[in-house]
């Protein structure tokens, strides 16, 4: 690792005062971007596809980077070869810590659909390609860069800043966050956390809004299992498992579950109404109207999902030969629960709707899975610092709180009382689709903006 990015502190202080952005010392954000991109390339080149993960190679790389700057770190390796890495910058102890976290593992690739080598970190026309370029090595690199700058510039912190790059986010396992918070909470305990999440969609180079996630839905799958008598396919039977399952799945998939707003979604839709064209604005002002919800179901399905616990049939399993009636048929429902959902009651309602004694409603095994977590507040110094930093880095935009329909490891933190916020690197809609898809990519300039946003938010809350 080179040290070419370091400038003397005095020069930097003068620079930041000259630009009048803040009295807190700031790095040269262009050099900072270049270094973050350099880290991201190195990280993308390490194949941490999960399964199997092999995150230790990336954790050790980061350990090396930190060591060059004289920062001690620790590998947390509950499963061999699958390390997470944690490091800490000390504040004066007057306030509780901030955690900067991101995950090291990535989802596997189907190379046949990529136009570049997914593990080469190719940069073309200001765009970096590779698995993890957005999800989530971009945030690992940005957090690492912010952490190094705070250290190099001797920023006087009131709070400890903890860096965590974790293993096993993409598939739950004993190497992931469930076990880390259980075994190493003393190393991670904090008041605020920044993690993946949020939305920052670029349209013609601009972002309508910067979404900071303050809440997320809880994945809690359900299996529907129908049992009947087996027999020859030439003789129809009233207890045919496949027929009973099909009717149950259809009812579940068409169920318009009860809708309700929480603090986050209420503020989100109110904010969205202010920045949307008139027709859409009217929808968002009236999201509780069932007629509006029907429109959203077709035109804005993600907003429809934000309003309720959703039920989506995703897998069917039955039979092995066309002339044999199978005794069992199973269907899997992807259920994403609102943060305050009473899941036992919810399953009872579903069973009531299906109303078929032959069909059992079975909750999925949730070992190491995300845990129920309360939303984080919109009225904390951390949320405010993110919004203040947004105004500096993305001045044409506004900050809105969002509830994610997908799940992140923030749930483990929120469940322990941490106010956790999800943020993301700005991307176009198309770049966004490359997450878990093909030709995953990120604009290197946006890595710079993202790094700056985090730096300003952390110094905004961590120095006074
Ligand atoms: Zn991710």
Alpha carbon distance 325, 239 (integer Å): 10
Does a cis peptide bond (omega within 30 degrees of 0) precede residue 446?
A: no
Question: Are 346 and 309 in contact, with CB atoms under 8 Å apart?
Answer: yes
Ligand 1 mean position to 246 CA, how many Å? 34
Ligand 1 mean position to 135 CA, how many Å? 5
Ligand 1 mean position to 22 CA, how many Å? 32
- CA quadruple 425, 429, 435, 438: dihedral positive or negative? negative
Ligand 1 mean position to 460 CA, how many Å? 26
Ligand 1 mean position to 104 CA, how many Å? 9
Ligand 1 mean position to 92 CA, how many Å? 32
158-203 pLDDT, tens digit per residue, is 999 999 999 999 988 999 999 999 999 999 999 999 999 999 999 9
User: Residue 5's pLDDT band (boundaries 50, 70, 90)?
Assistant: very low
Ligand 1 mean position to 59 CA, how many Å? 16
At residue 193, the pLDDT reads 98
Alpha carbon distance 210, 383 (integer Å): 12
User: What does pLDDT average to over the chain?
Assistant: 94
Ligand 1 mean position to 422 CA, how many Å? 11
At residue 370, the pLDDT reads 83
At residue 451, the pLDDT reads 98
As beta bridge partners, residue 222 has 333, 363
Ligand 1 mean position to 376 CA, how many Å? 19
Alpha carbon distance 77, 166 (integer Å): 10
Listed residue (417, 424, 409) closest to 219, CA to CA: 409
As beta bridge partners, residue 231 has 325
Ligand 1 mean position to 160 CA, how many Å? 25
362-391 pLDDT, tens digit per residue, is 999 877 788 889 999 999 999 999 999 999
Ligand 1 mean position to 362 CA, how many Å? 28
What DSSP assignment string belongs to 149-180? HHHHTT---SS-EEEEEES--SS--TTSHHHH
Ligand 1 mean position to 260 CA, how many Å? 27
Ligand 1 mean position to 278 CA, how many Å? 34
User: Residue 12's pLDDT band (boundaries 50, 70, 90)?
Assistant: very low
Ligand 1 mean position to 177 CA, how many Å? 13
Ligand 1 mean position to 94 CA, how many Å? 32
Q: Is 130 left (phi over 0), alpha (psi -120 to 50) or beta?
A: left
Alpha carbon distance 4, 7 (integer Å): 8
Top-tier CATH class for 220-363: alpha beta
User: Residue 230's pLDDT band (boundaries 50, 70, 90)?
Assistant: very high
Architecture of domain 9-217+371-462: 3-Layer(aba) Sandwich (3.40)
Ligand 1 mean position to 291 CA, how many Å? 34
Ligand 1 mean position to 352 CA, how many Å? 36
Ligand 1 mean position to 317 CA, how many Å? 29
Ligand 1 mean position to 103 CA, how many Å? 7
Alpha carbon distance 76, 163 (integer Å): 13
Ligand 1 mean position to 170 CA, how many Å? 7
Ligand 1 mean position to 196 CA, how many Å? 6
The segment(s) of the chain belonging to CATH 3.30.70.360 are 220-363
The end-to-end CA distance of the chain, in Å, is 32
At residue 205, the pLDDT reads 86
User: Residue 462's pLDDT band (boundaries 50, 70, 90)?
Assistant: confident
Ligand 1 mean position to 298 CA, how many Å? 27
Residue 328 pLDDT more than 80? yes
pLDDT > 70: percent of the chain: 95
Ligand 1 mean position to 227 CA, how many Å? 38
Does a cis peptide bond (omega within 30 degrees of 0) precede residue 51?
A: yes
Ligand 1 mean position to 15 CA, how many Å? 35
Q: How many H helices and E strands in the chain? A: 16, 21
Ligand 1 mean position to 242 CA, how many Å? 36
Ligand 1 mean position to 8 CA, how many Å? 35
Ligand 1 mean position to 132 CA, how many Å? 8
At residue 112, the pLDDT reads 95
Does a cis peptide bond (omega within 30 degrees of 0) precede residue 52?
A: yes
At residue 23, the pLDDT reads 59
Alpha carbon distance 128, 36 (integer Å): 12
User: Residue 19's pLDDT band (boundaries 50, 70, 90)?
Assistant: very low
Ligand 1 mean position to 164 CA, how many Å? 14
Alpha carbon distance 153, 8 (integer Å): 9
The segment(s) of the chain belonging to CATH 3.40.630.10 are 9-217+371-462
Ligand 1 mean position to 331 CA, how many Å? 27
Three-state DSSP class for residue 136:
coil
Average pLDDT over residues 119-128: 97
Alpha carbon distance 219, 383 (integer Å): 25
Ligand 1 mean position to 136 CA, how many Å? 5
Ligand 1 mean position to 370 CA, how many Å? 13
Strands 73-76 and 84-89: antiparallel
Residue 116 pLDDT more than 80? yes
Mention every residue, 6+ apart, whose C-beta is less than 8 A from residue 65: 1, 39, 144, 148
Alpha carbon distance 73, 163 (integer Å): 9
Strands 84-89 and 161-166: antiparallel
Give the HSE-up count for residue 170: Cα atoms under 13 Å, Cβ half-sphere: 22
pTM above 0.85, yes or no: yes
Listed residue (42, 1, 210) closest to 132, CA to CA: 42
Alpha carbon distance 402, 390 (integer Å): 15
Ligand 1 mean position to 256 CA, how many Å? 29
32-85 pLDDT, tens digit per residue, is 999 999 999 999 999 999 999 999 999 999 999 999 999 999 999 999 999 999
Mention every residue, 6+ apart, whose C-beta is less than 8 A from residue 277: none
């Amino acid at each position: 690792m080179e040290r070419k990015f370091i400038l003397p502190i005095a020069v930097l202080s003068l620079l930041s005062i000259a630009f009048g952005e803040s009295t807190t010392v700031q790095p040269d954000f262009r050099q900072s971007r270049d270094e973050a991109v350099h880290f991201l390339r190195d990280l993308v080149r390490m194949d941490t596809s999960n399964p199997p993960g092999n995150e230790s190679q990336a954790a050790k790389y980061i350990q090396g980077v930190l060591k060059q700057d004289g920062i001690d770190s620790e590998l947390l390796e509950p499963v061999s070869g699958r390390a997470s890495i944690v490091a800490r910058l000390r504040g004066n102890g007057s306030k509780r810590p901030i955690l900067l976290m991101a995950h090291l593992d990535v989802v596997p690739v189907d190379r046949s659909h990529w136009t570049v080598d997914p593990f080469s970190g190719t940069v073309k026309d200001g765009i970096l390609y590779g698995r993890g370029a957005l999800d989530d090595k971009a945030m690992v690199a940005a957090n690492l860069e912010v952490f190094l700058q705070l250290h190099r510039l001797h920023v006087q912190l009131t709070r400890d800043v903890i860096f965590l790059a974790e293993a096993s986010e993409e598939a739950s396992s004993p190497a992931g966050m469930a076990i880390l918070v259980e075994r190493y909470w003393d190393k991670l305990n904090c008041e605020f956390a920044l993690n993946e999440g949020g939305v920052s969609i670029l349209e013609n180079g601009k972002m309508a809004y910067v979404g900071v996630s303050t809440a997320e839905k809880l994945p809690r799958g359900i299996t529907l299992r129908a049992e009947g008598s087996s027999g020859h396919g030439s003789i129809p039977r009233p207890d045919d498992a496949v027929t009973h399952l099909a009717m149950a799945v259809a009812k579940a998939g068409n169920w318009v579950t009860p809708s309700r707003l929480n603090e986050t979604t209420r503020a989100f839709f109110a904010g969205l109404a202010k920045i949307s064209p008139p027709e859409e604005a009217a929808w968002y002002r009236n999201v509780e109207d069932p007629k509006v919800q029907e429109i959203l179901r077709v035109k804005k399905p993600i907003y429809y999902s934000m309003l309720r616990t959703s039920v989506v049939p995703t897998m069917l399993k039955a039979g092995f030969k066309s002339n044999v009636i199978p005794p069992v048929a199973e269907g899997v429902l992807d259920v994403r629960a609102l943060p305050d959902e009473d899941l036992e009651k919810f399953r009872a309602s579903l069973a009531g709707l299906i109303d078929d004694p032959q069909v059992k409603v079975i909750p999925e095994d949730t070992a190491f899975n995300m845990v129920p977590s309360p939303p984080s507040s919109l009225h904390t110094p951390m949320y405010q610092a993110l919004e203040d930093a947004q105004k500096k880095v993305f001045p044409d935009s506004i900050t809105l709180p969002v509830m994610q329909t997908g799940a992140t490891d923030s749930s483990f933190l929120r469940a322990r009382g941490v106010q956790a916020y999800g943020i993301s690197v700005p991307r176009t809609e198309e770049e966004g689709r490359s997450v878990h898809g093909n030709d995953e990519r990120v604009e290197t300039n946006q890595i710079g903006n993202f790094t700056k946003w985090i730096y300003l938010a952390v110094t905004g809350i961590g120095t006074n």
